[in-house]
């Protein structure tokens, strides 16, 4: 498989950096007491979202998780409206009523983050089934964690995706933990791609911190799905650098050396190294991108901070499709 063009690599770098900056800022704003709700940070896992979504068209579908900021930005979500959602402001993607774990924008094919572990998988089945029935050639991607693969709904959904030959890509973000439980304690078979065989679909394990491996595996899976070849399971081996959620220091169930070892495999640093050493991109050019994105993020934060809060009487609006109220 040929390596992505330099132009695409630079685009992928931008997206990963957009995600990293967004989350670092969100973490700080949360700790300063400016953001309500919960935050599950994706820092360290950016190559998965970007490697996968770089293969998708605007009208393809994704379903996300409680750790969804990366998926959202990688699929084309804008940081200003996203930040406004975290601030619980009316200008947010869900008018400030959803927050981090419910961000959605159907017009971008993003069918939603989801606080219920595993719940996005059958939704992606539904989206893929609609694409198949309507003959649109769209594909659906379900993102989920290693912990989610112990849910019954994972097995049911993979079985249906296989027997109905759905145009679907099942992407496991295997970050080695489900909350504070290491993967080796919550499942015997730690290479999740092996499970694909029992449903009759291809499965592949990749280094989730290497954007090229993620990109290539997804490229093949998307081709297969669009051409009637059915679903693929991709197990992306990765790591979250931060705690499970913003209030978890992540120190009681993993030791510092483990975290440091993974930090040496930072997916953004890796892509940066390839760009500089193999594609002759000047470090100053990458720093200019970082700065441009930082300025854009500052504007997004100002936009969010200065936007209005929803009124109490708005609480009963938007609860049902079509504006039907009880
Ligand atoms: C059905 C359900 N069970 C339990 C929880 C509580 N919970 C939230 S995140 C999480 C761990 C999920 O682990 P994994 O799927 O590996 O995702 P990660 O947090 O590692 O990204 C759990 C158990 C939940 N939100 N939903
Ligand atoms: Mg996990």
Q: Which helix (H) or strand (E) holds 123?
A: helix 120-134
Residues 226-244 have a mean pLDDT of: 98
Judge whether residue 326 has pLDDT over 70: no
Atom of ligand 1 nearest to the CA of 119: 1
Could you tell me the residue ranges of all domains in the chain? 6-301
SS3 label, residue 141: strand
Residues 244-258 have a mean pLDDT of: 95
Q: What is the CA radius of gyration of the chain?
A: 19
- Percent with pLDDT over 90 in the chain: 95
* Residue identifier of the C-alpha nearest atom 11 of ligand 1: 178
Within 6 A (CB) of ligand 1 lie: 66-67, 115-117, 145-148, 175, 177-179, 244
Atom of ligand 1 nearest to the CA of 144: 15
Over residues 128-184, the pLDDT tens digits come to 999 999 999 999 999 999 999 999 999 999 999 999 999 999 999 999 999 999 999
- Tell the residue number behind the tokens 């774990």, with chain if given: 101
Distance 151 CA to ligand 1 centre (A): 10
Distance 275 CA to ligand 2 centre (A): 29
What band does 316 get if pLDDT is binned at 50, 70 and 90? confident
Given CATH 3.40.50.970, say whether it is the number of domain 6-301.
yes
Over residues 3-21, the pLDDT tens digits come to 899 999 999 999 999 999 9
- Percent with pLDDT over 70 in the chain: 98
Which mutation among 45, 66, 173 tests ligand 1's pocket best, with the greatest number of atoms within 8 A of CB?
A: 66
* Residue 245 to residues 238, 248, 249, 300, 309, Cα–Cα distance (Å): 17, 5, 8, 23, 25
The residues pairing with 212 across neighbouring beta strands, listed in sequence order, are none
């Amino acid at each position: 498989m040929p390596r992505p063009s330099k132009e695409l690599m630079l685009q992928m770098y931008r997206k990963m950096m957009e995600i990293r900056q967004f989350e670092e800022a969100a973490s700080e704003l949360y700790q300063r007491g400016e953001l309500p709700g919960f935050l599950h940070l994706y820092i360290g896992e950016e190559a998965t979202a970007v490697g996968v979504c770089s293969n998708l068209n605007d009208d393809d579908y994704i379903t996300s998780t409680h750790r969804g900021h990366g998926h959202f930005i990688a699929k084309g979500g804008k940081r200003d409206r996203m930040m406004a959602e975290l601030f619980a402001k009316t200008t947010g993607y869900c008018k400030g009523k959803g927050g981090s774990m419910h961000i959605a924008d159907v017009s971008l094919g993003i069918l939603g983050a989801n606080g219920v572990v595993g719940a996005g998988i059958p939704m992606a089945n539904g989206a893929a089934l609609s694409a198949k029935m309507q003959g649109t050639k769209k594909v659906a991607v379900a993102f989920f964690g290693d912990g989610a693969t112990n849910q019954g709904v994972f097995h049911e959904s993979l079985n249906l995706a296989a027997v109905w030959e759905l145009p679907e890509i099942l992407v496991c973000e295997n970050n080695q933990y489900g909350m504070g439980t290491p993967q080796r304690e919550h499942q015997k078979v730690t290479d999740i791609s092996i499970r694909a065989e029992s449903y009759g679909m291809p499965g592949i394990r990749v280094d989730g911190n290497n954007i090229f491996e993620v990109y290539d595996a997804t490229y093949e899976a998307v081709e297969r799905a669009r051409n009637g070849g059915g679903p693929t399971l991709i197990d992306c081996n990765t790591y979250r650098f931060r705690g499970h959620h913003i209030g978890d220091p992540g120190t009681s169930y993993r030791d510092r050396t483990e975290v440091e070892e993974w930090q040496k495999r930072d997916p953004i640093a890796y892509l940066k190294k390839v760009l500089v050493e193999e594609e002759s991109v000047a470090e100053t050019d990458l720093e200019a991108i970082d700065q441009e994105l930082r300025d854009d993020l500052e504007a997004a934060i100002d936009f969010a901070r200065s936007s209005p809060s929803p009124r109490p009487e708005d609480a009963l609006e938007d609860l049902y499709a079509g504006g039907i109220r009880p």
